[in-house]
């Protein structure tokens, strides 16, 4: 039970700090995951609309639950890492301008689903993605606080951990 709690705390916890290396590894995993979710969600929405038109409300409900679950997992994973990275340079993640900017860009990206014009859709998507990459890069290269800060001790690198 304790190992399961540690697992979820590591991936979905909002307490503590993570260093630049952990955040870089997270970004390498998040960028493909973000692409997969952005590819799947329009299909899920199309299945929902088709199921409603065909009066198959069971399929529509399952699709809605799948979409909401997928987005909830993605948001929990993404923002737990963003908040802990902001905590590393002694800024509350919930008050960090970068985390708030990324959240606003994520909200704006839902508008992307309703754009009909191909050129406008691609331009909007490119603008959102470049803006998020700039914010994430800044968070990646900002040096964390040396020693303990308001959010705890620095993260111990996995190759420095001992079993004692």
Domain map (residue ranges) of the chain: 16-141
Backbone angles phi, psi at 152, to 5 degrees: 120, -170
Structural element, H or E, at residue 78 = helix 57-88
**pLDDT on residue 159:** 57
Percent of the chain with pLDDT over 90: 2
**Low-confidence residues of the chain: pLDDT under 70:** 1-11, 113, 155-164
Q: Which residue do the tokens 């800024």 mark?
A: 91
**pLDDT on residue 151:** 74
**pLDDT on residue 160:** 60
Strands (DSSP E) found in 9-139: none
Single pTM value for the model:
0.77
**pLDDT on residue 145:** 77
Q: Which two tokens stand for residue 162?
A: 């001992």
Q: Which two tokens stand for residue 53?
A: 């038109």
**pLDDT on residue 45:** 79
**pLDDT on residue 20:** 85
Number of residues that make up the chain: 164
**pLDDT on residue 163:** 54
**pLDDT on residue 21:** 86
d(CA 15, CA 83): 8
Q: What is the DSSP letter of 17?
A: -
């Amino acid at each position: 039970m304790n190992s399961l709690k540690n697992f979820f705390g590591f991936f979905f916890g909002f307490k503590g700090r993570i260093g630049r290396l952990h955040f870089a590894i997270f970004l390498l995993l998040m960028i493909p995951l973000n692409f997969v979710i952005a590819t799947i969600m329009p299909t899920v929405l199309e299945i929902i609309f088709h199921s409603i038109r065909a009066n198959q409300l069971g399929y529509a409900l399952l699709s809605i639950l799948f979409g909401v679950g997928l987005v909830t997992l993605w948001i929990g994973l993404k923002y737990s890492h963003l908040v802990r990275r902001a905590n590393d340079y002694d800024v509350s993640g919930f008050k960090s301008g970068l985390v708030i900017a990324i959240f606003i860009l994520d909200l704006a990206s839902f508008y992307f689903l309703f754009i009909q014009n191909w050129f406008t859709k691609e331009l909007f998507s490119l603008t959102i993605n470049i803006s998020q990459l700039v914010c994430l890069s800044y968070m990646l290269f900002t040096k964390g606080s040396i020693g303990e800060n308001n959010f705890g001790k620095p993260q111990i690198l996995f190759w420095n951990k001992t079993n004692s």
